[in-house]
Amino acid sequence: MKLPMLDMPASLNYIGVFLTLECNLKCSYCINDPLQAGHRETLFPIPVKTERHTMTPEQWIEGLSRIPFSPDLPITLQGGEPMLYWGGKGVGLVLEGVPHYVDLLTNFPMKPDTLARNLNGQQAKLQRNAPYPSIRVSWHADEMNRVWGNGFEELVNRCEALANHGFRVSPDKAESDVGIYMVAHPSNVVTPEMEAVFKGRVPFESKEFLGVDGDLLHGHYLYPYSTDLIARGFSEQTLSCECRTSELLIDPLGFVWGCHYYLYETWTHGGPVAQFYALEAAGFKFADTIDKLFGSRELRPIGHILDPEFRMTDLTVFRSCSEYGRCIGCDTKIKNNRFQSYYDQGVAHTSVEIRNIQMPQHLLAKLSPDERTQPWLIATETVA
Ligand code: SF4
Ligand code: SF4
């Protein structure tokens, strides 16, 4: 059945498809782990083969076909490690069925020949005309050295070899389909030896590390305490607020979520697998079944991409949240929107918009005078 097309608002900033939360690595700072406690492997075990923890490629094609083609808003495939989806062949199968450009966030888990073969002849969909590479390969020093021995050299070689498979590879990021990105976690540094390896071959950049390491908060956030309230011991209780997103975030089973914390936290408990099967049996009629499927749980999705009634306006509603303080950094950090709002007009963008944060006096007192008067805060005597 062909589902109705979605009406994408101009304010939509990002489309993130989490094809799978499986990963071949286990980085200590993995952002999928809301606690960043270095136990990713136990939180996201490789599921038993008899139980499906992802939608099929056909279901993804049906769901993503609802998104109108746009040359400047790609669908970003991420995870976990998206190239592991559907036995490694899933990305190519999905791309074959949709017209969209995609960006791929990957750790390059397979040899270049295998990766290219698994793309199933769909390379052109990863070659959008953009100022930065569509294939963004992450460098994780500890894990890649553990797995490959000479991790960085192997990674650069793999990226460079994509030139043999129809991709543009250039040290200039605007001219290259592939680039390497390093999370600037304190344990990741760029050494002169690394520079000698990547210079003149493949673009290489550092990305700000978001989160707490030791007692230090890394990153710049619009909303005070949003990511470190609990992690840095400012409070034992999260706060209440109202929140809405400017991103379309879809989990491996097609559920649409209001923020990364809700998505990741749900998947650290195995994901909404039983709910998916029940919803599938009910023809994906989400509104009819959500209360039955998720009970009174606050961590519930906004909708499902295969629900014929799902509308993008479902994302624009402010919803109550009592988990403020556990937000994931990428949701509350200050950044540009896709129109470069921060660099060009000084307008800070965050993935989520938060209001009515119920802030107790003892936390307010620690903020700067400027922060204390922000319109999204409401002073309370006690934690709500
Ligand atoms: S490669 Fe990415 S998803 Fe996998 S463990 Fe490392 S940070 Fe997490
Ligand atoms: S306040 Fe934080 S945890 Fe709650 S919905 Fe917004 S981003 Fe998610």
Got the DSSP string for 97-150?
A: H----EEEEE---S-HHHHHHHTTT-GGGG----SS-SEEEEE-HHHHHHHHSS
- 57 C-alpha to ligand 2 centroid (Å): 30
Is the C-beta atom of 261 inside 6 A of ligand 2?
Answer: yes
In this prediction, residue 232 carries a pLDDT of 93
The residue nearest atom 3 of ligand 2, judged by CA position, is: 327
Q: Is the peptide bond before 271 cis (omega within 30 degrees of 0)?
A: no
- Residue that the structure tokens 């040290």 belong to: 171
Q: Nearest ligand, CA of residue 144?
A: 1
In this prediction, residue 340 carries a pLDDT of 55
- 358 C-alpha to ligand 1 centroid (Å): 33
**3-class secondary structure for 320-349?**
EEEEECCCCHHHHECECCCCCHHHHHCCCE
Tell me the residue type at 115.
Answer: L
DSSP three-state, residue 134: coil
Phi, psi of 10, rounded to the nearest 5 degrees = -60, -25
Alpha-carbon gap, residue 81 to 109, rounded angstroms: 8
In this prediction, residue 73 carries a pLDDT of 92
Is the C-beta atom of 264 inside 6 A of ligand 2?
Answer: no
| Spans in the chain with pLDDT lower than 70 | 45-51, 336-347, 382-384
- 25 C-alpha to ligand 1 centroid (Å): 6
In this prediction, residue 49 carries a pLDDT of 64
Tokens of 81: 């490690």
Ligand 1 pocket: which residues have CB below 6 Å?
23, 25-27, 30, 32, 40, 79-81, 107, 138, 140
In this prediction, residue 384 carries a pLDDT of 44
In this prediction, residue 357 carries a pLDDT of 97
How many alpha carbons fall within 13 Å on the CB side of residue 122? 22
The residue nearest atom 8 of ligand 1, judged by CA position, is: 30
Q: If one looks up domain 14-220+245-316 in CATH, what number appears?
A: 3.20.20
Is the C-beta atom of 302 inside 6 A of ligand 2?
Answer: no
The residue nearest atom 6 of ligand 2, judged by CA position, is: 243
In this prediction, residue 344 carries a pLDDT of 59
In this prediction, residue 383 carries a pLDDT of 46
Domain ranges in the chain are 14-220+245-316
